[in-house]
Amino acid sequence: MYKPKISDRKLEELVNFASGWEPREYPELSKNIRTLKSVEKALLPHIRDVDYFVNWIGRKKPKRYSRKSIIVDEYLIYVPYHYSIDDCGIYFRVGELWRDFQVFAGFVYNALENSRILWILADESDVQALKLRRLYKAPASLICSLFIEYIVFHYAHGVAHHVFEDLAYVLEAMGRGKYSLIMARDEEEYCRYVAFTTLEKYMPGVLARSRKAERLISIFYPMIPEFEWRRVESMNFATTKLLYVYYGTYKSDGIQPKISGRINEGINLMFKLLWKNHYTFEEDAIELKTKPLVQRIYLTRL
């Protein structure tokens, strides 16, 4: 089970804060975030609304993903190459994602207004507390910094689905299984676990220099007025804690970030090896007659 690296008492304080929080309008943030409608034309080159997505949205998740199903999460859709070699890839559900980010940004801004919560988020470090206070006073920088970490968190979740598919493909070739190897619930929780641990491990400054962050921002930047890399500061020491209580307490979406005891050590070990290949080196482990995953990242309005 993933949990932030703070004491149970401090985590309880964050949970209590999240459980009592209510969204409201923050004019300081709103002027640094465009509406989706106002930038839809600029996003069009990245939008790919696949007709059959409509048939999957709102449908109850299968007990196990298969070559007969796509993966529909709240903020993204993953189309396995087992299902369609032409449409496979990660599709961010831009409407759901952008609405959620605006709420999450307000949640973060309110947390930074609270001196006790800010101190917990800063790991009781004067240097990190000073950085959070500086970001609170500079909403444009806060939005730029926060969105990179928010979108990389969700991107890591999508890549994890892809790694599970590649793992199944390898074992299928060996005659030792078929897609998918684990239950859908276990896969979702594992992907959430990977998203948290990946974001948490980033060294300060690395995300702002990474190709994956640059690639993701190139898709989303019209939504953030005058996005500039110089405004980006590492704050993942706080973002991981805030995402943890936001999804686990405020939204209570029911997806626990954990590796189920039903997942054997062999699968876990192979996943870690393939994950490094995909996420760190950005190289496809399985050669298919299609573009690599890093070129198969889209937006969908569905």
> 18-65 pLDDT, tens per residue?
999 999 999 999 999 999 999 999 999 999 999 999 999 999 999 999
Weakly modelled stretches of the chain, pLDDT under 70: none
pLDDT the model gives residue 178 = 86
Q: How would you classify the pairing of strands 89-93 and 76-79?
A: antiparallel
Q: Quick one: pLDDT at residue 122?
A: 97
Query: For tokens 């690296």, what's the residue?
Result: 5
Cα radius of gyration rounded to whole Å, the chain: 19
Q: For position 68, what pLDDT does the model report?
A: 94
Q: How far apart are CA 198 and CA 196, in angstroms?
A: 5
Distance from C-alpha of 108 to C-alpha of 201, rounded to nearest angstrom: 20
Q: What is the pLDDT of residue 287?
A: 81
Q: In this predicted structure, what is the pLDDT of residue 266?
A: 83
pLDDT on residue 167:
93
Alpha-helical (H) ranges within the chain are 8-19, 27-30, 36-43, 53-56, 94-113, 115-121, 126-136, 139-173, 184-201, 206-209, 211-220, 236-245, 265-275
